[in-house]
Chains A and B, each alone.
Chain A
Amino acid sequence: MFEDLRDLYQQVILDRGRKPHHGRRLEVFDAEARGDNPMCGDRVQVFVRRDGEAVAEVGFEARGCAISIASADLMAEAVIGKTADEIAELTTAFTGMARTGNGGAPQLATLRPLAGVHEYPSRIKCATLPWMALKAAMAGKGNASSE
């Protein structure tokens, strides 16, 4: 019945949405921030541990849909080893992909399963919310909002 939804709900999204690999509060972290989507109540708290200039580890606690949790989980892997500037660049690229579906950039390879959200305007914010929270954490701000 839902074959046409497989673009949005690819297997990796269903799997990560159900059992995220990084869905935990880090015991030691250097930065954290919370992202809220006030329209739907989704919330993600992102924890960042740094090693020098680079991000060493990201964990998160989230309440939300399969899309937002899978997005947070794939993000946690994609940003390891990256500097703040590189993460800012990746955030822009990811947000662009979520809005347009254009995920051609090589750095988006592991994030490409989320490109399907661009066809679902009400779900784009589900995918970008963890990135907004990460951006706030990297900037030393406590909170981010999807609105």
Chain B
Amino acid sequence: MNAISKPAFDVARIRADFPILAEKIRGKDLVFLDSAASAQKPRVVIDAMVHAMEHQYANVHRGLHWMSERTTEAYEDVRDSIARLLNAPDRSNIVITANSTASFNLVAQSYGRSVLKPGQAVLISQMEHHANLVPWQMLRDASGVELRIAPITDAGELDMAAYEALLADGKVGLVSVTHMSNVLGTYTPAERIIQIAHAHGARVMLDASQSVVHRRIDVQALDVDFLAFTGHKLYGPTGIGVLYAKRELLEAMPPVNGGGDMISSVSYERSTWAQVPHKFEAGTPAILEGIGLNAAIKYVEAIGFDAIAAHEATLTEHALARLSAIEGLTIIGHPQDRGGVISFTLKGAHAHDVATLLDRQGIAVRAGHHCAEPLMHRLGLESTARASFGLYTTMAEIDALADTLDQVRVFFK
């Protein structure tokens, strides 16, 4: 390992920022390898939310009093932070939602039912999370928009030739694909995907739920049309997510939820909508969660994505080497460009049994279909175990996983 070329990354100092990592599981150190499902929270996020509740809280966007004005400022600051994180042209490109799933449903129900027409198609890939599949199925069934599925290769990468062929007839109005698979760890070639789609007249939505945690995303450089991520995987709270979209798309899209906060004026005859992005944000928003996500974004920005990406690469390389050396263990997928999400099977042991045995040693992994049943079917699997890494993951934790898996293998032999 060339330590000089890699940015400084003090994992011990980072771990001290996450109070939960001091917890013991049945007397053993917590080895948390399930950050792809939801990440742990640093002290600054916890403190920001508690501080708001203790010192600075009221409803936003409506009060003419000190508390409401201060809370509105604190909450709305997250929109600037998200815009900065993604290099969005403007804060008005950022719609705050409940999570990635809500972002996909918003695009499917608004853009999908107004701009897309029957006879047009939505193209997704074979390695999508259910969040980027089911909303499009619902759109298909309700509006007659076709749903196409781009295959993946046995290595676990998007089959780019097949992808381009599925766009060839010009019927695809929207491509919606993952930027990083939550099962295989594959980073998809977003720039090429977008270039090819645009050349065929299709817009592109990226599922950045996993990728935004590990890599710098520049929506302008990518020229992506829509992008979704969720706060709780980025070390922020649950209940808050993001939809980035180009301004002209948001302008053309009708609101899905009606109510307070999304209107310009209301009478019994008709109502008019607030400006973008507020017309998509009906009701009191997730105020505390916005304040928490803002703290989380500032926290990862202070560490820096060069350091974060290098740490992830080092961990992934080590994990692939250690896990692949275990007898009977199969790593699922071997994409060229991959990150810190590794699915595997162990011969003779079901993934749930593997997870239960690992849990007895304080090691938390995910087991099951990972909300990607069609992908499991494509891979010829029922379920896998999955280890995923975060800022606070250490090489020693990966060694603990590998050493324990070797004992699991013996147990089920």
Contacts and interface: CB of A to CB of B under 8 A. Distances in A.
Contacts of B408: 2
B121 to A, nearest CB: 28
A8 B407 CA distance: 17
A42 B353 CA distance: 12
Question: B interface, by DSSP: helix, strand, loop or mixed?
Answer: helix
B357 A39 contact: no
Interface in B361-384: 361, 367-369, 373, 376, 382-383
Contact of A40 (B357, B369, B407, B411): B369
A67 interface: yes
Given A14-B412, A18-B348, A63 B382 contact: yes
B56 interface: no
Nearest to B360: A5
B404 A40 contact: no
A64 B368 CA distance: 10
A2 B404 CA distance: 10
A2 B407 contact: yes
A64 B356 CA distance: 14
A65 B408 CA distance: 14
B356 A8 contact: yes
A41 B350 contact: no
B352 interface: yes
Interface in A69-122: 120
Contact of A1 (B368, B376, B404): B404
A67 B404 contact: no
Interface centre among B349, B350, B361, B369 (most CB of A within 10 A): B350
A63 B367 CA distance: 14
B356 A123 contact: yes
B350 A65 contact: yes
Given A5-B357, A18-B348, 5 more contacts: A1-B361, A41-B368, A63-B382, A120-B356, A123-B352
5 contacts: A8-B356, A17-B353, A40-B367, A41-B369, A65-B353
Interface of A: 1-2, 4-5, 8-9, 14, 17-18, 39-42, 63-67, 120, 123, 126
Q: Lowest 3 A-B CB distances belong to which pairs?
A: A65-B352, A65-B350, A41-B369
